[in-house]
Chains A and B, each alone.
Chain A
Amino acid sequence: MFDWVQNMADWLVYDALNLEKGAHLTEALNFFIYDTTKILILLFVVIFFMGIVNSFFPIDKVKNYLSRKKLYGLEYLMASLFGVVTPFCSCSSVPLFIGFVKGGIPLGVTFAFLITSPLVNEVAIGLFVGLFGIKTTIIYVVSGVLLGTISGIILQRLKLESYLTPWVQEILANAQIEQDIFQEEKQSFKHRLKIIWAEVMTILKGIIPYVIAGIGIGALMHGYIPEGFFEQYMGKDNLLAVPIATILAIPMYSNASGILPVVQVLVTKGIPLGTAIAFMMAVVGLSLPEAMLLKKVMTLKLIAIFFGVVTICIIISGYVFNMIL
């Protein structure tokens, strides 16, 4: 499907720029041009598609759905799935959290949403398809959704309501299942498309620098680090690799667009995919800035429990990935 992009990159590097085939710099440049073009195309398609889905399932509708319907345990999975289609912005996580609590949605279900949303979203999916192919993408999406679901169920079992900050507990006490009727923005499809288009452009503009930086670093590593370089340190038989990679990643923060191109190169150089994905999930899903934001609504103890449960689930999924891939 992307042969023409490779042809274009080949032509540009070997013919137009007349660089020597096989030289490190040439190959790095070729890889950079090919990867950037392919990924930007994929990102555009996925973001646009998700924009359309999201326009018809705005967050308010999701909240009303989750608080009204009796789902007999499936609500964790539903919340996690909604997390996939809702674009995530870390600055919205607090208002989202409060909105869910207000709507009488159980804490665990809210967590399921909050965990999956940054892990599996339009940007991550677009990049994953471009860098690892469809099969790995599907496995990633499924395990991301399950991770949110299972962590949500565990967190619900732990009965953490008393660890919310006092003003949130007050909201919790006054939570109403019956929702204020959601005022849907009445718009024609054409008008929606215009808004979606503007959104797609804003998102793309926002992530292009990260993607290019990520691919740039990736391209350099691609050209200069020998194949299988990391295998000797972090191979599959090193059982400590997954937990170490995960824990190292927690304080780091990057969005999926910056970290994934680097992860891909790490994988081609010998780090097992499961270890690399565990690292990436911890970078994207858990971070110090997020913990700082959540302090408004949660006590430190609750944040620690939340991060702890998610970390354990990420480590387990890293091992599972290493076993099946």
Chain B
Amino acid sequence: MSKVIKILGTGCPKCKTMTGIVQEVVKENHIDATIEKVEDIVQIMKFNIMTTPALVIDDIVLIKGRVPSKEEVLALFN
């Protein structure tokens, strides 16, 4: 089943780094997923987070406030 990945962040450098990492992981491992960037603060706040960037997969917040490594992101899909 295709997964929905959301990256929450208002556009700071850290958020861009996280987007890049997630895109690479998805591409390299042929993961069936759509990546969506959420930049609107009102939308971001619906996820009840206080630090950005945050990684959301299928509406569950898995990482917040830091940039994960590629391995860590990959592990979240298994």
Contact = CB atoms under 8 A, between A and B. Distances in A.
A199 B49 contact: no
Interface in B27-76: 41-42, 44-45, 48-52, 65-67, 69
Contacts of A303: none
Contact of B51 (A92, A167, A199, A296): A92
B12 A91 contact: yes
A133 interface: no
Interface residues of A, number: 24
B22 interface: no
Contact of A60 (B10, B14, B50, B67): B50
A188 interface: no
Contacts of B11: 91
Identify whether the interface residues of A are mostly helix, strand, loop, or mixed.
helix
A95 B38 CA distance: 13
Nearest to B67: A202
B66 A195 contact: yes
B12 A89 contact: yes
Contact of B41 (A90, A95, A100, A202): A95
B54 to A, nearest CB: 9
Contacts of A59: 50-51, 65
Contacts of A60: 50
A67 B14 CA distance: 29
B51 A89 contact: yes
A95 B44 contact: yes
Nearest to A95: B50
Contacts of A167: 42
Interface centre among B12, B44, B45, B52 (most CB of A within 10 A): B45
B48 A92 contact: no
Interface string A88-110: 01111011101110100000000
Contacts of A178: none
Interface in A174-222: 180, 195, 198-199, 202
Nearest to A96: B50
A145 to B, nearest CB: 21
B50 A99 contact: yes
A236 interface: no
Contact of B52 (A91, A102, A199): A91
Interface string A153-190: 00000000000000100010000000010000000000
B9 A91 contact: yes
B15 interface: yes
A198 B49 CA distance: 21
A63 interface: yes
Given A59-B65, A195-B66, A95 B14 contact: no
B58 to A, nearest CB: 16
A99 B49 contact: yes
Contacts of A102: 45, 48
A180 B48 contact: yes
Nearest to A167: B42
A11 B67 CA distance: 40
Nearest to B49: A95
A224 B51 CA distance: 43
Interface of B: 9-12, 14-15, 41-42, 44-45, 48-52, 65-67, 69
- Report the 6 A-B pairs with minimum CB-CB distance, sorted nearest first: A91-B12, A99-B50, A92-B51, A96-B50, A98-B45, A59-B50
